[in-house]
Structure 1
Amino acid sequence: MKLQITNAFKQAAGLGIIAGMRTFSAPAVISHVYSRHPSKQIKGTSLNFMQTIPASKVFKVLGAGELVGDKMPFAPKRTAAGGLAGRFLSGALCGATVYKANHKQPVIGGLIGGAAAIASAFGCMFLRIGLAKRSGLPDPVIGAIEDAIVISAGTAIAKSM
């Protein structure tokens, strides 16, 4: 039996990975796309708010604030319980939305996006710590590199939708 990886799976997992790196960047990407190109499958569902211009604007403001806040010395650890919960929910929301828009079960998409967010949160934390130790770069510089990856990946996913 051949495993077929659908575009919806790639999008849900990719958005989950982004959510694990920056909680609000993934919903900012998806709400931007769907607010400008609404999906008939999402219309009239509980996920319809993701297709609104106000939601798109709110997620963009939250995402921009997070890009700045991540570099502050008082920023909480991404693997703290609250941070992980937020990242899981962000990835789950995005995964469910993508799956619903693609005529698939939103619960499955939510689980894929949420799981990818948790894996990404831990993976990126360890990568960031290791990179700081080996390179000697200050954490805010590494955070800015991570931001560039998030923005690039988000742009690529948006273009694939």
Structure 2
Amino acid sequence: MKTSKKIIAKAIGLGAIAGMRATVAPTVLSYFLNKHPSKALAKSGLGFLQSPITGVITKVLTAGEFLGDQIPNGPNRIVFPQVAARVASGALAGAGLFRSNRAGIAKGLVLGGASALAVTFGSYYLRKYVDKKLHAKDGVVGGFEDLLSLVGGWIVMRK
């Protein structure tokens, strides 16, 4: 089945959001799938993404990630466990999005994961650059990034 450019762009966008904040992509996707359930997704192993319980769990995880990002000596996002979590999150979001639109999950998995990988490193170095150039407190830049990931995720899914 041919996948629309809109779905491809959304998978890439959700992957990018996961690269900035690992939990936000599944949270945003779950929120929208709760509002607009997919019969195709319900019949798959990814059906849990549109469960109300998943919506609650992902929101709690996102709040925890936002709080954890404020810890001064927290791990950098470019260490292996952090990269792996972000890539997995982007891949999951891409696969869920594709399946919910009656498309094969492999392409969504790859697009979401690859986008998350690229943005993980890009956003890390951009944040370091902004911290240095603006002499901003890391927590302020992190808070802005939190907001950007939420708003960005909302925009990706609204289109």
When the two structures are superposed, what TM-score results if normalisation uses the length of structure 2? 0.95
Counterpart for residue 102 of structure 1: 101
Runs of 4+ aligned structure 1 residues displaced above 6 Å come to none
Are residues 1:136 and 2:135 paired? yes
Structure 2: runs of 5 or more not aligned: none
Task: Find the aligned partners of 1:35 and 1:148 in 2 and give their Cα distance.
Answer: 22
Q: How many residues align?
A: 157
Pairing of 1:3-152 with structure 2 (within 5 A): 6-152=5-151
SS in structure 1 at match of 2:154: helix
The percentage of aligned residue pairs carrying the same residue is 36
Structure 1: runs of 5 or more not aligned: none
SS in structure 2 at match of 1:41: helix
Task: Find the aligned partners of 1:47 and 1:123 in 2 and give their Cα distance.
Answer: 29
Task: Find the aligned partners of 1:57 and 1:11 in 2 and give their Cα distance.
Answer: 22
When the two structures are superposed, what TM-score results if normalisation uses the length of structure 1? 0.94
SS in structure 1 at match of 2:41: coil
Q: CA RMSD, aligned part only?
A: 1.2
TM-fit CA distance, 1:116: 0.5
Look up the equivalent residue of 1:159 and give its one-letter code.
Answer: R
Task: Find the aligned partners of 2:41 and 2:153 in 1 and give their Cα distance.
Answer: 21
